Amino acid sequence: MSGKDSGVGLGPVALLVILVFGASLSLVLWKSISRQRDADTEQETQWCASAFHRVLESEFERLDSLLRRRAQLWATDAFSNDLAAWRGSVDIMLTENPALLAVLRADPSEEIAGSANGEQILREVLPKVRRRQQVDPDGEFIVGPLLAATGRKVFGIQVRASGDGKDARTLFALFDAQRVVEDVVDQRALGFAIAVSANGHEVYRRDSPNGFVKASLRKTEAIAFPNGKPWLLEVAPAGNAAWASRTQGPAIALVVGVLVSGLLAAAVHFGMLSWRRERMLRRVNTELERQVVDTHRGQAELREFSEALERRVADRTAELNETIVELETFNYSVSHDLRGPLGAVINFAAILQEDSGDRLDATGKDQLQRIIGSASSAVSMMDALLTYSRSGRTELRTTHVDMNRVVQEVCDDLAVNLPQLRCAVKVGDLPNAFADENMMHFIFTNLISNAFKFARKGESPEVEVGGSPGSNEIVYFVRDQGIGFDMRFVEKLFKVFERLHASDDYEGHGVGLAIVARMVRRHGGRVWAQGAVGKGATFYFTVATTGADTDGRLAN
């Protein structure tokens, strides 16, 4: 898709080719026009020549027959004897036919009649005429030109009257051949040059001032003259007005050729431009389509990839859930199955104590009590373990929780067994949270009861519960003034079965805080503690204001 492709329709070579083509076209066109013109001209010349041929022939025939009739007429007695009458008749004839110059009666009278000039010429050429007559005394002939030196085209014609053999049988007349032809040809067919010749002598010539167009188109006709050799008629087209368009032929052809080649060049140019543009557009289109296809393919691949990823995640989650279920089932069934035998131990020990306790001494009673205590402890440990396990699995049912009410209920519940709790707990204004109310209940129960459990011996416990909203979480705390703990072991606080204090002194299994931590994490929150030995402890936990159950489910 370079700019060259799209910008230029034709290169110089293509232009040259078109120019040459245009020139050739002009030439061919010109040739064709010119050939057509030539053909037309030739035809017209032929027509012209034929026309003149007919006209001249008929003129000659008219002259011939005129003379022939006069000869017949003058052979009669009226004219043979009456010379005056004959002369009068000759004068009429000469007046009527200016081309005739003089007449000679070829009878023994040898009378000559005609114009003064004509008579004089006749007398001049008489010797030649005599010589010709001697060759053929009674024949019919044409002779001339008789005055070659003067340049006048004077011809003589002898005709014989038809009929019986009388004396005045023949008539000799002088005529101006040029005049005859002129009368017929002048002012006619001006577009042609015309020449008439007899016996190799030119009788008449009319050339066009513009010259011949083409000598090769000259047409010749033989004009039969009665009793004489045929005269030659030559007709050639001339470049006068009638043929002016002929000369414009090449110019027209050139103009047409240039125009056509220009149009052709333009057509080719724009055609190529449009073709290139179309090709470019098509290419761009194809490219775009390919990109679209690629994009679709990419999206499909991405979708496949993400689907595969989702499938893997789902598979792994399913596997994990399966494992968890298996662990839970194991945990549950172990707890449940152990609960039976341990329950039996407790029950029967209790029955023994009830039914036969009187028969045991103090040591026996103590030992029986230890059996009951240990078994009960084992059962409650298993219960705690079950609770811990379930805290990670039970469904999180989040609602808007009024934390003040929750803490109040917790205090009420705990106060059943710890009456002094009522006046020992100070509750601040707690922000509400979006959380699982049962879990919040458990958390506060655990923390507050811990605060009492780890109070300093002999002192009335002071517990403070508070909370404050943060940017994206709410922080709650439970603070006591109890025995506290060593910060070095703070990590152990929230682990299962980890204890910082002896169980002999403080009852419990070390599961409660682990459950608290797990529940907090399921709410997307954090849990931590601060304290010092003998100086009380503060337990903090947060509840995220957005999102919950992020990672707590699978923690630990």
Partner 1 sequence: MEGSRIDVLMVEDDANDVAVALRAFRRHSLEDRVCVLRDGAELVDYLQTHDLRVRSPKVILLDLKMPRLDGRGALRELRSRPETRNIPVVMVSSSNLQSDVRDCYELGANSFVVKQLGPLSPGTYLVDTVRYWLELNEATS
Residues at the contact surface with partner 1, assessed by CB under 8 A: 332, 336, 339-340, 342-344, 346-351, 353-354, 372, 376, 379, 390, 394
Starting at the edge strand found earlier in the chain, the sheet holding 100-105 runs 112-114, 100-105, 170-176, 154-160, 141-143
Residue 336 Cβ vs partner 1, minimum distance, rounded to whole Å: 6
> CB-wise, 67 or 342, nearer to partner 1?
342
- Give me the least distance between CB of 506 and partner 1, in Å please: 21
Beta carbon nearer to partner 1, 317 or 369? 369
Minimum separation from the CB atom of position 390 to partner 1 (A): 8
Least spacing, CB of residue 309 vs partner 1, in Å: 32
What's the token pair of residue 119?
């008579």
Minimum Å gap between C-beta 357 and partner 1 is: 12
C-beta closer to partner 1: residue 105 or 522: 522
**Is residue 179 within 8 Å of 201, Cβ to Cβ?**
no
Strand partners, 184: none
Residue 393, token pair as written in the block:
């699995």
Nearest approach in angstroms of CB 434 to partner 1 is 22
Which residues, 6+ apart, have CB-to-CB distance to 144 below 8 Å?
A: 153, 154, 155, 156, 177, 198, 199, 201
C-beta closer to partner 1: residue 210 or 394 = 394
Nearest C-alpha neighbor of 555 from the set 524, 533, 511 = 524
324 vs 379 by CB, closer to partner 1: 379
In the complex with partner 1, which residue's Cβ is closer, 141 or 348?
348
Q: Which two tokens stand for residue 93?
A: 């004839």
Query: What phi-psi label fits residue 486: left (phi over 0), alpha (psi between -120 and 50 degrees) or beta?
Result: beta
Q: Quote the tokens at residue 204.
A: 């008449």
In the complex with partner 1, which residue's Cβ is closer, 132 or 509? 509
In which element (H, E) is residue 131 found?
helix 116-135
Both tokens of 497, joined, read 């079965």
Q: Is 288 or 344 the residue whose CB approaches partner 1 more closely?
A: 344
Contacts of 274 (CB under 8 A, 6+ apart): none
Query: What gap in Å lies between CA 408 and CA 414, rounded to an integer?
Result: 10
* Contact (CB, 8 A) for 175 and 63: yes
Q: What is the nearest approach in angstroms of partner 1 to the Cβ of residue 342?
A: 8
Choose among 225, 255, 188: nearest CA to 33.
Answer: 255
Instruction: Count the neighbouring beta carbons within 10 Å of the beta carbon of residue 278.
Output: 11
Check whether the bond before 145 is cis (ω within 30° of 0).
yes
From the CB of 403, what's the least distance to partner 1, in Å? 24
Complex with partner 1: residue 149 or 416, whichever CB lies closer: 416
Closer residue to partner 1, CB minimum distance, 163 or 343: 343
List Cα–Cα distances, 544 to 394, 468, 470, 471, 476, in angstroms.
19, 12, 9, 9, 11
**Whether 224 contacts 230, CB under 8 Å:** yes
Residues 6+ apart with CB under 8 A from 203: 145, 153, 177, 178, 181, 196, 197, 231
CB nearer partner 1, residue 109 or residue 376: 376
